[in-house]
């Protein structure tokens, strides 16, 4: 029987692992809040060979996403508006760390220079069926309260590419859920969160695979 020396097995393991990592696309996530979607995305790609989340960036020093990243062993950094919009600090970082950028509850508009550097490589999720209830200020519970006030029969999620305007990039995917008269903004939010957790990581992976 062929006997493979243990040292050779270890070397082969590291060679194969290194090759897999080099072939994987790199994702940088932007998040402003709790980071539940970010965590879901990180866990999804930890179990695939398609991509790896290399870093999480946040504009909010109090964001709970930092706690999640520490628990998950993911590097996370804080940035300010000057490094994001006025100089090229964040852009230069992305050139090194990212093939794709995912916005997971990120509230700032992406500067034109980043959009131009990553065409059709920046993906956002919006908690409504765009083009309804999009634009500046329409995020989180603001959206769900407006959906309830307008007696909408349905709502959902929109996953789309990012351009220079809030929520106006090309739509990649939408999923719907019914809204009943008994629903509150809070129960609507829960329904929408379930759609986000179910679909967002899979759609990101599909986009990456289509770009290979």
Residue 109 is given by DSSP the state P
Collapsed DSSP state (helix, strand, coil) of residue 158: strand
Task: Tell whether 124 is in a known binding site.
Answer: yes
Let me know if 199 is a catalytic residue. no
CA atoms of 18 and 24, how far apart (whole Å): 10
Task: Tell whether 145 is in a known binding site.
Answer: no
Check if the beta carbon of residue 113 is closer than 8 Å to that of residue 119.
no
Nearest to 136 by CA among 93, 104, 165: 165
Give the full edge-to-edge strand order of the sheet including 76-78: 76-78, 51-58, 25-30, 100-103, 122-126, 154-161, 171-178
Alpha helix ranges (H) inside the chain: 6-23, 36-46, 65-72, 81, 89-97, 112-117, 140-149, 185-210
Task: Tell whether 181 is in a known binding site.
Answer: no
Q: Which one is catalytic: 44, 55, 126, 160?
A: 126
Query: Any idea which residues carry the catalytic annotation?
Result: 126
Binding residues: 35-37, 81, 124
Binding residues for (6R)-10-formyltetrahydrofolate: 81, 124
């Amino acid at each position: 029987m062929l006997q493979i020396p243990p040292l050779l097995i270890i070397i082969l393991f590291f060679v194969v692992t290194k090759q897999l990592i080099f072939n994987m696309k790199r994702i940088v996530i932007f998040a402003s809040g709790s980071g539940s979607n970010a965590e879901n995305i990180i866990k999804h790609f930890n179990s695939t060979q398609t991509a790896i989340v290399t870093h999480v960036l946040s504009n909010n020093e109090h964001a709970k996403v930092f706690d999640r990243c520490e628990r998950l062993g993911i590097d996370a950094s804080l940035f300010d508006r000057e490094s994001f919009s006025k100089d090229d600090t964040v852009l230069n970082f992305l050139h090194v760390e990212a093939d794709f950028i995912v916005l997971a509850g990120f509230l700032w508009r992406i500067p034109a220079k980043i959009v131009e550097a990553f065409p059709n490589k920046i993906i956002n999720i919006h908690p409504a069926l765009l083009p309804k209830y999009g634009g500046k200020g329409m995020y989180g519970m603001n959206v769900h309260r407006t959906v309830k006030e307008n007696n909408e029969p349905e709502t959902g999620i929109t996953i789309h590419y990012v351009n220079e305007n809030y929520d106006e990039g090309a739509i990649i995917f939408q999923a719907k859920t019914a809204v009943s008269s008994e629903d509150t903004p809070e129960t609507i939010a829960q329904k929408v969160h379930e759609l986000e957790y179910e679909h967002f990581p899979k759609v990101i992976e599909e986009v990456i695979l289509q770009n290979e």
